[in-house]
């Protein structure tokens, strides 16, 4: 512990130490003012002005006793500053504390509940901010003295000043916390505890508040200086407002093929460690990309593929460095770590995974493309706009003239990714680095983006470095593929050769772990070959302790969940006009899930499948229709609020393993929460024993309970999310895209785990995914959704071998699989 603390302190920059020492010195001087001040700052008896005895300020030679001199009445300025600092810091600090407490509380409430509560609090804050700080403080102080005459006494002056300043400053905290709370409320770890049934107050204080306090501390430090300045100004404006007699004050600081396009040769990338060691992220990587070639770089998380992509772009995260090897663009070696070595956008373009975070939400599409063009090319605004229009047409954006004035949120996910590609192509780079460009997209949009990338390579001769973990994507558009494992290249060559006849054992295992859409397997091949004996024993104990219900071999013909004519509307918003119309996300959906069954919901983004999941899990109320669980109405007009067994009977596993666990809580506490909340254990010791059993059941060591989520990989975190869901002893688990963000090998582990748990405990699963290969391998029956409605529902084997609906056949034809390799008939 001491050694770890020492290492952390050594990493603190010198500037932070100096700033901290300065702040401590100021606070110490203010606190010790009575001891170190040379004079009483209010003493007027040092000089006899009547006898023409002038204070040092007016003496030609000054007086060494007064280091900063005196005012025109002979009072020592140094003493006045020391005493003044005490009052300013106390009042400023008090105002900051009051403003922070009020603002954080109101921000939490507004961000969590939204709707009219949010609108009311924020509009009141807008009214407050419309007044200048000083004017509002004077107004509040005056009103306080009118309403409470006793407040005119000197004893009340500090408290009036604190309130007068805080009433303006709380809005900053409320706005910041509201925005952060809205973000956190949408994260899966908050949705998970909502499914568990924790009360809102507990969710806000225990789960959300610790995760939104970071910005609050930053605002408080800035706000303190402003509060001190406001206090000093108010004290100067009038003695009746002052917390002390008028005197000088400290106000702090002032504010202000041909030759390859890309050739990488024996590249080694290192990250220095705090203990003096070195982590080698990439070792001896060699590859090249010819004009018009798409070269895929694949591997699990941590393999080094994204590190290579970032190195080429000059975006290597500090303290990472290129230790050896070379990178050459058009035959010219360059050092991407040197500023100006490459011009991003001009020499190399980049397309990243999430188009929503790649585009600035505050600027129109036109301004973002034009900005890129004018940064690299000598174009005026009119010429740049014409070029932007050409680019949108080139990447297949419909109605490009109208889309130029749109903002990112007004476009679909596929359109946003096309805009990102347009920005990357704006200055006609020879090389494009595409890092997981289709991971966030559904199968139909993914197919469109892949066709676009292939067309750019074929028609424009652009070389593309495609970083991905999706082997189906590699098969569909890549010319060559390089497989990486733990920083090393294990196999590289033409895509058909590598995928059809892999030589390296790791390459064989990785390709074998890819879910197939043509046949169904009992289990997915495991890359690590881990022994599952301990996990299997733990699952047997779960069965014995009744942590899950139902005989896995019984009840298959009895509906456990019945969804009847379900409809869900999304309103236009609290402040929307009368003409605004609601959007119907789910329209008349009906289906049943039997005990012990795995039921799949598939469809494109926006088809309504996740909305159905949220209604089933109790996260959203339906507009119409009913949902029955084990014969009891749990959603609809006749439904009573879910409590106790009705609430814990249905749990949920979310898509993103990195946001589904509270980063500030240890794993043991996270998993114990549903056990303790539902009183499923008689004592805390029994709850801890159940937590250990859950952790072992999902294939993790028991000591994982003492760690924080950041100590685990994405696959391990998803295992812990499954363990948390099991802790409530549910009968149905809703799995919303549980493997979409995971590597193929980790995906295989999670899907095998879900199969094992279903077989061992009799769990019923509602599996939602846009990955049809996963649905093929996991589900007994499948419903295909489009635009809020079910277009086909059948047994999985029937749906994948003899689909009836044209839309289902279209979806199946678009799935990139290893069976359809580019260039093969």
| Cβ count within 10 A of residue 682 | 8
For the stretch 216-242, pLDDT in tens is 888 888 877 777 777 777 666 554 444
Token reading at 409? 């949120």
Residues 272 and 399 in one domain: yes
In a domain, 53, yes or no: no
Residues 165 and 272 in one domain: no
Peptide bond before 319: cis, by omega within 30 degrees of 0?
yes
Q: Rounded CA gap, 429 and 656, in Å? A: 34
pTM of the model as a whole:
0.73
In a domain, 177, yes or no: yes
pLDDT of residue 22: 77
Residues 464 and 539 in one domain: no
Token reading at 439? 């991971």
In a domain, 2, yes or no: no
Q: Rounded CA gap, 503 and 490, in Å? A: 9
φ, ψ of residue 325 in degrees (nearest 5): 95, 175
pLDDT of residue 396: 82
Residues 189 and 275 in one domain: no
Please tell me the chain's helix, strand, coil percentages from 3-state DSSP, rounded to the nearest 5: 50, 15, 35
Q: Rounded CA gap, 619 and 640, in Å? A: 14
Residues 329 and 473 in one domain: yes
In a domain, 28, yes or no: yes
Evaluate whether 23 touches 41 at the Cβ level (below 8 Å). no
Q: Which residue ranges of the chain lie beneath pLDDT 50? A: 45, 48-54, 57-59, 239-257, 529-534, 546-554, 574-576, 825
| Cβ count within 10 A of residue 497 | 15
DSSP 205: I
For the stretch 685-742, pLDDT in tens is 999 999 998 898 888 888 889 999 988 877 788 889 999 998 998 999 999 988 876 7
Element (H, E) at 286: strand 278-289
In a domain, 56, yes or no: no
Q: Rounded CA gap, 113 and 106, in Å? A: 11
Q: Rounded CA gap, 657 and 749, in Å? A: 14
Residues 359 and 496 in one domain: yes
What DSSP letter does each residue of 297-333 carry, written as one string? EE-STTSSHHHHHHHHHT-PPTT-EEEEEEEEETTEE
User: Which CATH number is 126's domain given?
Assistant: 1.10.3720.10
Evaluate whether 784 touches 811 at the Cβ level (below 8 Å). yes
Q: Dihedral through CA 375, CA 378, CA 381, CA 386, nearest 10?
A: -100
Residues 278 and 211 in one domain: no
Evaluate whether 207 touches 63 at the Cβ level (below 8 Å). no
User: Which CATH number is 357's domain given?
Assistant: 3.40.50.300
Residues 232 and 128 in one domain: yes
In a domain, 374, yes or no: yes
Residues 230 and 275 in one domain: no
Residues 595 and 712 in one domain: yes
Which among 39, 47, 44, 45 has a CA at the least distance from the CA of 83?
39
Q: Give the count of domains, the chain.
A: 3
Q: Rounded CA gap, 650 and 653, in Å? A: 10
Domain that holds residue 364: 262-512
DSSP 640: P
Task: Name, in order, each residue with C-beta under 8 angstroms of 107's C-beta and a sequence gap of 6 or more.
Answer: 173, 174, 175, 176, 177, 178, 180, 181, 212
In a domain, 643, yes or no: yes
φ, ψ of residue 618 in degrees (nearest 5): 85, 15
Residues 103 and 218 in one domain: yes
Residues 541 and 443 in one domain: no
Cβ neighbourhood burial of 395 (10 Å; 0-12, 13-18, 19+) = buried
In a domain, 57, yes or no: no
pLDDT of residue 784: 95
Token reading at 762? 């009799």
């Amino acid at each position: 512990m001491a050694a770890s603390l020492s290492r952390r302190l050594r990493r603190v920059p010198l500037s932070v130490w100096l700033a901290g020492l300065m702040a401590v010195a100021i606070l110490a001087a203010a606190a010790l003012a009575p001891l170190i001040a040379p004079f009483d700052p209010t003493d007027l008896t040092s000089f006899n002005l009547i006898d023409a005895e002038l204070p040092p300020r007016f003496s030609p030679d000054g007086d060494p006793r007064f280091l900063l001199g005196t005012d025109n009445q002979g009072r020592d300025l140094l003493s006045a500053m020391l005493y003044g600092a005490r009052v300013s810091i106390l009042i400023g600090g008090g105002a900051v504390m009051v403003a922070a407490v009020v603002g954080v509380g109101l921000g939490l409430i507004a961000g969590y509940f939204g709707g009219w509560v949010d609108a009311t609090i924020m509009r009141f804050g807008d009214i407050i901010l419309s007044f200048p700080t000083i004017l509002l403080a004077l107004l509040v102080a005056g009103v306080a003295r009118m309403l409470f005459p006793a407040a005119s006494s000197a004893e009340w002056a500090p408290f009036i000043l604190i309130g007068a300043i805080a009433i303006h400053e709380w809005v900053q905290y409320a706005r910041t916390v509201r925005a952060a709370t809205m973000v956190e409320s949408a994260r899966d770890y908050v949705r998970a505890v909502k499914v568990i049934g924790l009360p809102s107050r507990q969710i806000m204080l225990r789960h959300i508040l610790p995760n939104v306090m970071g910005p609050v501390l930053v605002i408080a430090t800035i706000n303190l200086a402003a509060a001190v300045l406001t206090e000093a100004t108010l004290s100067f404006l009038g003695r009746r407002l002052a917390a002390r007699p008028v005197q000088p004050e400290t106000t702090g600081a002032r504010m202000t093929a041909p030759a390859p396009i890309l050739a990488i040769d024996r590249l080694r990338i290192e990250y220095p460690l705090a203990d003096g060691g070195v982590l080698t992220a990439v070792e001896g990587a060699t590859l090249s990309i010819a004009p018009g070639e798409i070269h895929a770089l694949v591997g699990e998380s941590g393999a080094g593929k994204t590190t290579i992509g970032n190195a080429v772009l000059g975006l290597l995260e500090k303290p990472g460095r290129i230790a050896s090897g070379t990178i050459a663009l058009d035959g010219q070696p360059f050092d991407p770590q040197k500023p100006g070595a490459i011009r991003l956008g001009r020499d190399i373009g980049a397309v990243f995974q999430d188009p929503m975070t790649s585009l600035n939400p505050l600027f129109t599409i036109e301004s973002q493309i034009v900005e890129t063009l004018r940064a690299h090319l000598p174009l005026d605004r009119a010429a740049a706009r014409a070029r932007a229009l050409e680019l949108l047409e080139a990447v297949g954006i419909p109605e490009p003239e109208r889309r130029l004035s749109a903002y990112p949120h007004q476009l679909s996910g596929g359109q946003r990714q096309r805009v990102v590609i347009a920005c990357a192509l704006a200055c006609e780079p020879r090389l494009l680095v595409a890092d997981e460009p289709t991971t966030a997209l559904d199968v139909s949009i993914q197919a469109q983006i892949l066709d676009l990338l292939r067309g750019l390579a074929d028609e424009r001769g652009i070389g593309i470095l495609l970083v991905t973990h999706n082997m189906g994507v590699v098969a569909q558009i890549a010319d060559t593929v390089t497989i990486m494992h733990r920083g090393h290249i294990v196999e590289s060559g033409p895509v058909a050769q590598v995928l059809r006849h892999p030589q390296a054992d790791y390459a064989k295992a990785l390709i074998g772990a890819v879910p197939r859409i043509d046949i169904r397997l009992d289990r997915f091949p495991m890359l690590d070959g881990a022994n599952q004996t301990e996990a299997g024993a733990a699952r047997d104990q779960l069965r014995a302790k009744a942590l899950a219900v139902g005989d896995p071999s019984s009840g298959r013909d009895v509906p456990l969940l019945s969804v009847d004519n379900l409809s869900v509307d999304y309103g236009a918003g609290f402040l929307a006009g009368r003409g605004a119309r609601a959007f119907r996300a789910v329209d008349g959906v009906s289906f049943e899930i039997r005990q012990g069954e795995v039921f799949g919901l598939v469809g494109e983004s926006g088809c309504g499948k996740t909305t159905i999941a949220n209604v089933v899990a109790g996260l959203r109320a339906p507009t119409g229709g009913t949902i029955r669980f084990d014969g009891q109405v749990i959603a609809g007009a006749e439904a009573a609020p879910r409590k106790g067994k009705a609430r814990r009977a249905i749990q949920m596993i979310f898509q993103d393993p990195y946001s589904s666990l509270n980063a500030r809580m240890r794993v043991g506490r996270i998993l114990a929460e549903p056990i303790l909340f539902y009183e499923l254990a008689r004592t805390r010791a029994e709850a801890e024993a159940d937590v250990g059993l859950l952790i072992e059941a999902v294939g993790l060591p028991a000591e994982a309970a003492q760690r924080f989520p950041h100590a685990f990989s994405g696959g391990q975190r998803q295992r812990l999310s499954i363990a948390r869901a099991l802790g409530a002893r549910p009968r149905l688990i809703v799995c919303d895209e549980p493997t979409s963000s995971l590597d193929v090998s980790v995906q295989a582990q999670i899907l095998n785990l879900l199969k094992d748990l279903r077989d061992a405990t009799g769990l019923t699963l509602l599996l939602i995914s846009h990955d049809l290969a996963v649905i093929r391998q996991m589900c007994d029956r499948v419903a295909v959704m489009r635009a809020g409605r079910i277009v086909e529902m059948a047994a999985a084997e029937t749906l994948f071998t003899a689909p009836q609906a044209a839309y289902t056949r279209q979806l199946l034809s678009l799935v990139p699989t290893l069976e359809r390799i580019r260039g093969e008939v």
